[in-house]
Amino acid sequence: MTQQVLAGKVGLVFGVANKRSIAWAIAKAWAAAGARLIFNYQGERLKENVEELVGEFGEKTPLFPCDVSSDDEIKAFFEQVRGETDRLDLMLHSLAFAPKEALEGDFVSTSREAFRTAHDISAYSLVALAREVAPLMKNGGSILAMTYYGSQKVVPHYNVMGVAKASLEASTRYLAYDLGPKNIRVNCISAGPVNTLAARGISGFMSMLKHYQERAPLKRSCDTAELGATGVFLASDGAAAITGQVIYVDGGYQIMGM
């Protein structure tokens, strides 16, 4: 039986798209550890998928729409959240988007609009959500975001998403500084390649996965269950002194020089 290290905690989960989503793996792990969760969905196209998944937690699991590119929708989402609870302890940000054409070809060809969109959805949304969630974290809390090594080193075809993830990681550090006095911790998990809907949008993804299997010390990347376990740790009191960090869960790939 999973230890209930998050018993009594209430968390928000942003970014579930389907059962293979990293966000879903972490949400399941949080729930198994005792947390009560509230979910978002972005657009009617994903609503049915997310509704079916969160149904595993019971019919009364709250699920509200939120387009994180809209400040008005973010405010409306948190008004609905406050109708469910007067406090929050956890928040997962697993949101990233760039136009498909920006993840093909050369980075130098990135359009101004693609650059703006990637940063707005993938990085600024963390700032906007943290601003709204912080007043509800009355007893402190843990904010967790998902990133990837393409923020630090060049990964062909990751392009503008790598630059947006670098912005996300820097934002994590500044948020950790701002929110630290309120005992709110902000960290990132940098996951190795995992076969998700988002990953399949990256040109050459399967070659990337094979590269990890060849080069990483553990001869593999990671799986969603391992990401879920890391998510539980960072949300728990066991990580009470950890903030502003990027935790690599990638089979050790990040340590390699060649």
Contact between 66 and 35 under an 8 Å Cβ cutoff? The reply is no
Q: In the annotation, is 174 catalytic?
A: no
| Helix or strand (DSSP H, E) at 167 | helix 159-179
φ, ψ for residue 202, nearest 5 deg: -95, 125
Q: In the annotation, is 148 catalytic?
A: yes
CA-based torsion, 157, 223, 119, 48: positive or negative: positive
Tell me which of 41, 124, 149, 158 is the catalytic residue: 158
Contact between 81 and 57 under an 8 Å Cβ cutoff? The reply is no
Nearest to 90 by CA among 46, 29, 151, 170: 29
Tell me which of 41, 148, 149, 212 is the catalytic residue: 148
Residues 253/254/257/258 CA torsion (nearest 10 deg): 30
Largest CA distance in the chain: 52
The Cα–Cα gap between 18 and 49 comes to: 6
| Helix or strand (DSSP H, E) at 177 | helix 159-179
The Cα–Cα gap between 163 and 140 comes to: 30
Q: Which residues are catalytic?
A: 148, 158
